Amino acid sequence: MIHVTRRYGFSASHRLHTPSLSEEENRILYGKCNNPFGHGHNYVLEVSVRGPVDGRTGRAVDPAELDRLVRERVIDELDHKNLNEQIDEFQRIVPTTENLGLLIHSRLQRAWTEVFPGPWPRLEKVRIAETPRNIFEVDANHGS
């Protein structure tokens, strides 16, 4: 069994603000991240998959297929977007990077069998860095 990780990047803006709290409580909770005009990040996304090495190809995953899946389901949807304004899920939940990691994980998991119909490879982990100092991981068992 081998674990393959591919790294991607996208840039997006967000504002941390929850309607269930008052303006003042939001300011205290989220600090600068609550700026009403929003702010942006260069997110770095790592997608890890797990599987046996195919004897014919020497590969555990076709990186071109993985790239296509991640590009279509994640990067094209999120890159150069305002997460609060343009992503449906973030109309209802706060676009923290915790929630962004969960959203990316669930989007990949939902489309997975269309691209990888066999038993392998399996999605193992989504790791997202909001900045080089703030990093969030969602493992594959999440939600199962």
Partner 1 sequence: MLITRRIEFSASHVCANPSLPDEENRRLFGAASNPHGHGHNYIVEVTIEGDPDPVSGMVLDLKELKAILNAQVVDRFDHRFLNKEVPPFDRTVPTVENIAIEIWNRIQPSLVLPRGKLHSVRVYETPDLYVDYFGEAQ
* Footprint on this chain of partner 1 (rule: CB under 8 A): 1-8, 53, 56-60, 62-64
Question: Is 33 designated active site?
Answer: yes
Catalytic residue among 33, 77, 89, 142: 33
Q: Is the peptide bond before 121 cis (omega within 30 degrees of 0)?
A: yes
> How far apart, in whole angstroms, are the C-alpha atoms of residue 81 and residue 10?
9
Cα angle value 122/134/86 (rounded, 5°): 75
CA distances from residue 79 to 11, 13, 96 in whole angstroms, order as listed? 5, 9, 16
> Is 41 assigned a catalytic role?
no
Instruction: Enumerate residues 6+ apart whose C-beta is below 8 A from 112.
Output: 69, 122, 123
Minimum distance of partner 1 from residue 58's CB (angstroms): 3
CA triple 116-65-81, angle to 5 deg: 110
The residues that are catalytic are: 33, 80, 130
